Amino acid sequence: MIFADVIVDISVKSLDRPFQYIVPEEMIDDAVIGAMVIIPFGSGNRELKGYIIGLSGEAKFDVERTKAIKEIVKQGVVAESHLLSLAYWIKENYGSTMNDAIKAVLPVRREIKKKVSKTVYPCQTRSELEQTMQEFAKKHNQARVRVLQALLNQEDFEQGIPYERLKQEAGTTMAVLHGLEEKEIVSVTEERQYRNPVMRAGERDQQPVLNDQQRRIVDTVTGDYRQGIRKTYLIHGVTGSGKTEVYMGIIEKVIAEHKQVIVLIPEIALTFQTVSRFYRRFGERVSVMHSRLSQGEKFDQFERAKAGEIDIMIGPRSALFTPFEHLGLIVIDEEHETSYQSEMPPKYHAREVAVHRASMVGASVILGSATPSLESYYRAQKGRYTLFTLTKRAGGASLPKVWVTDLREELERKNRSIFGGKLMELMQDRLAKKEQIILFLNRRGYAGSVPAGSVVRSSNARTAPCR
């Protein structure tokens, strides 16, 4: 007998453990780790969904009292075994339930109807088809006559005709075509069509010329990769220093090793411009995964990734769980962003999960930011991450001139305005030159300064002078 350890689809701590079920003989072939199942649960045998996380030939409990799986969900997406291991690590490290962790690593959980394109081909020569059409016309079988006439009207007779076009021109249905297929007059072929959320982004870009700093990073990382060294790298580069070009230079070498890459970006809003840039560089084997895709688009990208038809997956946090079989590199751009922290259970941090997933499958991780997080910078200083710095802007562009003003000195000069003296001077200069100004405030929703003599009322109704 085969027994399955099943995690029940209920996010309750008291039920956060595997329950053993018997796998019926007729389901053994479909009972694989990661499969979604329907099980009888509890004293009332309430039907619930669950996930198989283990299989064995040994019973943990009395076989007479062990229930059997009722159904293996054919439309359920099967989780990769290493993703289930990752889900367990998330559960242990972030205090979630295993069920919530499995749902996190399965951004697509059910199978969507596949999109196919059908083409109708003639099985007879043109003269034979004309004779067949005349025979149908004598029998007043107009539906079949219209189909054959549409085929005969094709200049490329042997190339067939798409079913959608045939349906419009001849007003036919699949029932009519099946009848013609049985008589071996036509044949209908089907080809899987993937819903592709990536729009074509123009001509392919030429590979740019990297500066010395960029080239040093690319050469070092790719050199480590060829030698089988897998690390986490932190690229600390000023804004405009060309970090994305460095990513793409490294990705190009990793793909040449027949590996796959995940690129995480902090916001869905950045997806289009990022994907367009990668698409122009790497072509059609680039895709995207995020929450605004339709269920059909998500499922198709999931399937393409499992089939090895994608080299690069781009997206926010959920793209981290793309089921790549040959994952070689994870890139996290703007790694300091708080959007990489999940606010819903399980409350994981994508950066930490990415580093762990990479260690599981033998991949490297690249973190990039102009303002690295304290955690990443500390680890780089301690040698746990390899630190690179980009101090110059790409293309010879110059950095803006920056003044730092100590507002305490402004108060000593009796300047109680929200504008410091240097800022006021520069603003007046720009306005005199008919130029424009943008002011960024470091807070919103409440005042950045309060006039002297004002009072602030606290919740216990006491007042205090504002200083």
pLDDT digits 0-9 by tens, 56-113: 999 998 999 999 999 999 888 888 889 999 999 999 999 999 999 999 998 887 878 8
Residue 419 neighbours by CB distance under 10 Å = 13
Contact 155, 234 (CB under 8 A): no
Order the strands of the 2-8 sheet from edge to edge: 19-23, 2-8, 46-56, 36-41, 71-72
Query: Has residue 261 got a pLDDT over 70?
Result: yes
Number of DSSP helices (H) and strands (E) in the chain, helices first: 14, 17
Query: Has residue 464 got a pLDDT over 50?
Result: no
Least Cα distance to 236 among 79, 376, 345 occurs for 376
Residue 467 neighbours by CB distance under 10 Å = 5
Contact 10, 39 (CB under 8 A): no
pLDDT digits 0-9 by tens, 134-163: 999 999 999 999 999 999 988 888 888 999
Q: What is the pLDDT of residue 3?
A: 96
Strands (E), 29-73: 36-41, 46-56, 71-72
| Distance between CA atoms of residues 291 and 428, nearest Å | 46
Instruction: Report the percent of the chain where pLDDT is more than 70.
Output: 93
Q: What's the rounded mean pLDDT across residues 25-53?
A: 93
Q: How does residue 236 score in pLDDT terms, banded at 50, 70 and 90?
A: very high
The highest-confidence range among 104-118, 170-184, 361-375, by mean pLDDT, is 361-375
Q: What's the rounded mean pLDDT across residues 423-446?
A: 87
Tokens of 137: 């016309």
**Helices 81-94 & 350-361 angle (0-180, nearest 10):** 140
Q: What is the pLDDT of residue 445?
A: 58
Q: What is the pLDDT of residue 454?
A: 52
pLDDT digits 0-9 by tens, 298-355: 999 998 999 899 999 999 999 999 999 999 999 999 999 999 999 999 999 999 999 9
Q: What's the rounded mean pLDDT across residues 251-268?
A: 94
pTM of the model: 0.81
Where does residue 143 rank: exposed (0-12), middle (13-18), buried (19+ CB within 10 A)? Answer: middle
Q: Which residues are CB-neighbours of 382 under 8 A, at least 6 positions away?
A: none
Q: What is the pLDDT of residue 467?
A: 36
pLDDT digits 0-9 by tens, 289-313: 988 888 889 999 998 999 899 999 9
pLDDT digits 0-9 by tens, 196-214: 787 665 666 777 889 999 9
Contact 301, 313 (CB under 8 A): yes
| Distance between CA atoms of residues 338 and 320, nearest Å | 16
| Distance between CA atoms of residues 54 and 3, nearest Å | 8
Q: What's the rounded mean pLDDT across residues 272-294?
A: 88
3-state secondary structure 286-335: EEECCCCCCHHHHHHHHHHHHCCCCCEEEECHHHHHCCCCCEEEEEEECC
Contact 312, 327 (CB under 8 A): no
Q: What is the pLDDT of residue 448?
A: 57
Q: What is the pLDDT of residue 156?
A: 82
Q: What is the pLDDT of residue 14?
A: 87
Q: Which residues are CB-neighbours of 129 under 8 A, at least 6 positions away?
A: 122, 148, 151, 152, 185
Q: How does residue 451 score in pLDDT terms, banded at 50, 70 and 90?
A: low
| Distance between CA atoms of residues 72 and 86, nearest Å | 23
Query: Has residue 20 got a pLDDT over 90?
Result: yes
| Distance between CA atoms of residues 152 and 146, nearest Å | 10
Query: Has residue 374 got a pLDDT over 80?
Result: yes
| Distance between CA atoms of residues 398 and 138, nearest Å | 83
